[in-house]
Amino acid sequence: MRTRASNMAGFTLLPVILAMSLIAAIAFLLNRDSGMNAAMVASQGDADRARYVAEAGLQAVNAIAQGKNCTGYTDLPADALLPPIAFGAGSFTATANPKAGTPVTLTATGTSSGVSASLIRANVVVLQTTPATLTLQPGTPGMDTDMSSASPNNNYGANPNISVNFGQGVALVQFDLSSIPAGSVIQSAQMSLYHTVGGNDTVSAYRVTKPWNEGTGAAGSGATWNKYNGVTAWTAAGGDYDPPPGVSIALPAINTWATWDLTSLTAAWAAGTQQNYGIALAASGGGNNSFASSDNGTAANRPRLVVTFLPPCGWVPAATGVTLQASQDTWISETNMGSNYGSSISFTVTNANKRGRGLVKFNVSSIPPGTLLQSATLRLFTGSFFPKQTSILTVNRVTNNSMNNWTELGATWRRSDGTSGWSAAWGGSYDLPAAASAALSSSFTSGWVEWDVKALAQEWVDGAPNYGAFVLIDTSSAVVFNSREFTVNQPQLVITY
């Protein structure tokens, strides 16, 4: 049988609106208590009401702290010389300490009809007010597989795709949420799978209720239709997961992204009120549908979960670094306008009477779309700079025009791909002003030249056409850079995010 999801429980820090709602509810209880059984012992009723007022004080001072973006928390009242805060027929004072960072200790004293009650809440997590977004797209270490009733003992954990088939095939996907800091409030969580085969069928995502192994494809290594780890049977063949309704969508066209809203489920996983065993994907009709798996050869198409959340004060995302090698590079020469140098081990940049311009391109598809870059540095190595004079080298984006979609073995001074002309003029088409610049002094001999190309790389990651960049110089000096065909110190794009 399918198990039914239990209700989420547990204390969650309340944002300002919810805190105010709770305070209103407390006020209602106070009013209600004032008219309750007259036989109630008066002192007990006053003590209860004092605790209600103190709870309102805790919520009020917490709401203030949550809205301060981690510093400058104020007490209620803000000045100890001021009278307590009136609340219904009573009043309260409340403090938060320390006055910045997290966690904090909240203290409140409520008074009603001369009776006081104090409450303390320690280790309260205060959140940043600016949301953070993490894109979880683990690639090969990710957890996903599918299970087929037609081959109930086969594991498909190493396949490049996962499949869903009505009544015959269920897919399993799990994301590691350990990079989301404890205490965060999840605002959004969107799971996207790249649809490779199928039609406009309805596929639902359900919470899996038992741990499972992805497997390697070998017998007994991981989840199958009959067994969750290759050895032990599921409670029900085809997997243990919540019954309908799940999160259902109609699949989009193939070669596009299908997205499920997993906000509520991810919030429960992050809060620890539900175990994270991932989700099961099952179809309610139609035929076979396939999606790129974490083992897919196209890294950009692998499963991803984009999570937006309010993190605790002081949290900063861990930087992920990647060094990309050039996918294409060459140079074009005004001296030899029809010559191509795409297979050369170097490329030359000069602004002499007969100019030379470098071209370089990097494939950034391994970085998940929507990722916010922290830095991006273009690095080119040169062992030849002559004549030595102070020079400025610039990186200029190749102008966004399909005519400029140059090829490594086709680009010349006159042609972008050996056939089509550049969109603007001979010598290539590039944007002004430059995207980045670097200075070479007259004493420079050899080494890496670096440019800060964060803004340009961010545009490429965000989906802008990527035709690469020109490398130009403002003097008659000739700088010879290693190309990607050289044995060492090839062009690099170093990105952190």
Going 38 to 109 to 58 to 122, the CA torsion angle's sign is negative
- Cα separation of 205 and 173, whole Å? 10
295 lies in the same domain as 368: no
Which residue range forms the structural domain that includes residue 77? 16-124
Q: Is residue 449 part of a domain?
A: yes
Decide which of 277 and 8 is more confident.
277
The model's pLDDT over 368-417, given as tens digits with 9 standing for 90+, comes to: 777 888 899 999 999 999 999 999 999 999 999 999 999 999 999 999 99
- How many helices, marked H, and strands, marked E, lie in the chain? 4, 26
Residue 32: strand, helix, or coil: helix
- Segment of 11-25, 129-143, 368-382, 467-481 carrying the highest mean pLDDT: 467-481
Q: Is residue 5 part of a domain?
A: no
Going by C-alpha positions, the residue among 81, 22, 82, 18 that lies closest to residue 53 is 22
The confidence score (pLDDT) of residue 2 equals 37
Contact criterion met (CB below 8 Å) for 475 and 389: yes
Mutual angle of helices 16-34 and 42-66, in 10-degree steps? 170
- E strands along 125-246, which residues? 132-136, 143-148, 161-165, 169-174, 185-197, 202-207
Task: Kindly report the number of other CB atoms within 10 A of residue 487's CB atom.
Answer: 7
474 lies in the same domain as 358: yes
Q: Indicate the residue type of 382.
A: T
Q: Is residue 10 part of a domain?
A: no
Q: What is the rounded average pLDDT for all residues in the chain? A: 91
341 lies in the same domain as 489: yes
Decide which of 101 and 21 is more confident.
101
Per-residue pLDDT, averaged over 168-174, amounts to 97
Q: Is residue 2 part of a domain?
A: no
Q: Which whole-number Å values give the CA distances from 432 to 415, 421, 452, 475, in the listed order?
A: 20, 20, 16, 17
Q: Is residue 235 part of a domain?
A: yes
Q: Does residue 140 carry a pLDDT above 80?
A: no
The model's pLDDT over 27-40, given as tens digits with 9 standing for 90+, comes to: 554 554 444 343 34
195 lies in the same domain as 62: no
The confidence score (pLDDT) of residue 304 equals 93
Contact criterion met (CB below 8 Å) for 257 and 369: no
Question: How many domains does the chain fold into?
Answer: 3
The model's pLDDT over 332-353, given as tens digits with 9 standing for 90+, comes to: 999 999 999 999 999 999 999 8
362 lies in the same domain as 335: yes
Question: Cβ neighbours of residue 44 under 8 Å, at least 6 residues apart?
Answer: none
The model's pLDDT over 424-458, given as tens digits with 9 standing for 90+, comes to: 889 999 999 999 999 999 999 999 999 999 999 99
Q: Does residue 491 carry a pLDDT above 80?
A: yes
The confidence score (pLDDT) of residue 120 equals 98
Q: Is residue 1 part of a domain?
A: no
The confidence score (pLDDT) of residue 33 equals 46
State the pLDDT confidence band at 85, using cuts at 50, 70 and 90.
very high
